[in-house]
């Protein structure tokens, strides 16, 4: 595997070469199996060792792979305040799954049948459409710190796959994440808030939290940035 790019120029040059190469045949390994295979293979081609980190993948650039069938990409994960709010949300708003565990899996695009997203003072708040009680919230500073650290610059690489063959068609490079745009699109519903948490066992106090995700359509990423460049 090559060394990771040391500069923006080197990263963009490698991406152009990958796009111009055409079809690749991915090695038959567990890492390249499943839906994440093309993304993992792209990381290998670029010489990246990413893992699950809240920092950009390469020289201050976050790299995301998608296809024509991708509905949403995950920008980042960030749990809500106050502490133990997810325990309350599961108890209050959850429903039993096939194993009898209370589960709260719910995506909110500005507003859902149960909740709405508000910007209140310096907080993003998820409020019930009816009723009251404790609510999940994030301060603007929390969201802007993680967004600024993780996705201040982003490369969206579009590709397609046939069996073990994959090719990368284009790369859109976005710079200058605009904080005002981010908050506006979060309340507007362009950015979805995706909860996915359940009881560890039926009736238990323990939870299995798969992380609260902030997600957006690949077509709408451009709404968050002030500068764009296409490679390929």
Q: Contact, 110 vs 189, CB < 8 A? A: yes
pLDDT at 223: 97
Mean pLDDT of 191-197: 98
pLDDT at position 124 is 98
* 161 occurs within a structural domain: yes
> Which residues on neighbouring strands pair with residue 166, listed in sequence order?
24, 161
In a domain, 1, yes or no: no
Domain count, the chain: 1
pLDDT digits (tens, 9 = 90+) for 2-13: 888 889 999 999
Q: Is the pLDDT confidence value at 186 over 80?
A: yes
Q: How many CB atoms lie within 10 A of CB 162?
A: 8
CA distance 122 to 214: 18
Residue 60 — pLDDT band, cuts 50, 70, 90?
Answer: confident
What's residue 174's pLDDT? 97
Count of all residues that appear for the chain in the document: 232
Determine which of 48-62, 177-191, 204-218 has the lowest per-residue pLDDT on average. Answer: 48-62
Cα 70 to Cα 159: distance, rounded to the nearest angstrom: 10
Residues 6+ apart with CB under 8 A from 110: 116, 117, 187, 188, 189, 190
Would 3 be classed as within a structural domain?
Answer: no
Under the banding of pLDDT at 50, 70 and 90, the label for residue 51 is low
Mean pLDDT rounded to a whole number for the chain:
93
Residue 115 inside a domain? The answer is yes
Mean pLDDT confidence for 215-219:
98
The pLDDT of residue 3 is 87
Residue 23 φ/ψ, nearest 5 degrees: -75, 135
Q: What is the pLDDT of residues 113-165, one digit of tens each?
A: 999 999 999 999 999 999 899 999 999 999 999 998 899 999 999 999 999 99
Q: What is the pLDDT of residue 44?
A: 92
pTM above 0.95, yes or no: no
Domain assignment present for 210:
yes
CATH number at residue 119: 3.30.70.3570
Residue 2 counted as domain residue: no
Domain that holds residue 139: 8-231
Candidates 98, 116, 136; CA nearest to 212 is 136
Task: Concatenate the DSSP letters of all residues of 77-129 into one string.
Answer: E-PPBSTTHHHHHHHHH-EE-TTS-EEEEEEEBSB-SSEEEEEETTEEEEEES
Within a domain: 130: yes
Is 94 contained in some domain? yes
């Amino acid at each position: 595997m090559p060394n990771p790019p040391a500069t923006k120029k080197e990263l963009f040059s490698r991406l152009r070469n990958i796009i111009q190469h055409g079809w690749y045949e991915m090695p038959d390994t567990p890492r390249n199996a499943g839906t994440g295979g093309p993304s993992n293979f792209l990381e290998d081609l670029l010489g990246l060792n990413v893992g699950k980190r809240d920092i950009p993948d390469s020289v201050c650039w976050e790299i995301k792979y998608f296809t024509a069938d991708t509905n949403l990409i995950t920008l980042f994960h960030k749990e809500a305040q106050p502490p133990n709010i997810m325990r309350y949300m599961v108890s209050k708003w959850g429903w039993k799954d096939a194993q009898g565990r209370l589960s709260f899996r719910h995506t909110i695009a500005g507003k859902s049948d149960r909740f709405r997203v508000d910007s209140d003072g310096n907080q993003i708040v998820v409020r019930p459409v009816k009723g009251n009680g404790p609510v999940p919230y994030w301060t603007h500073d929390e969201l802007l710190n993680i967004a600024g650290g993780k996705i201040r610059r982003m490369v969206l690489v579009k590709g397609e796959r046939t069996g073990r063959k994959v090719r990368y068609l284009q790369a859109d490079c976005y710079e200058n994440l605009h904080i005002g745009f981010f908050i506006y699109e979060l309340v507007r519903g362009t950015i979805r808030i995706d909860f996915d948490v359940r009881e560890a066992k039926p009736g238990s106090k323990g939870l299995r939290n798969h992380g609260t995700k902030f997600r957006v359509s690949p077509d709408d990423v451009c709404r968050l940035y002030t500068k764009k460049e296409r490679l390929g």
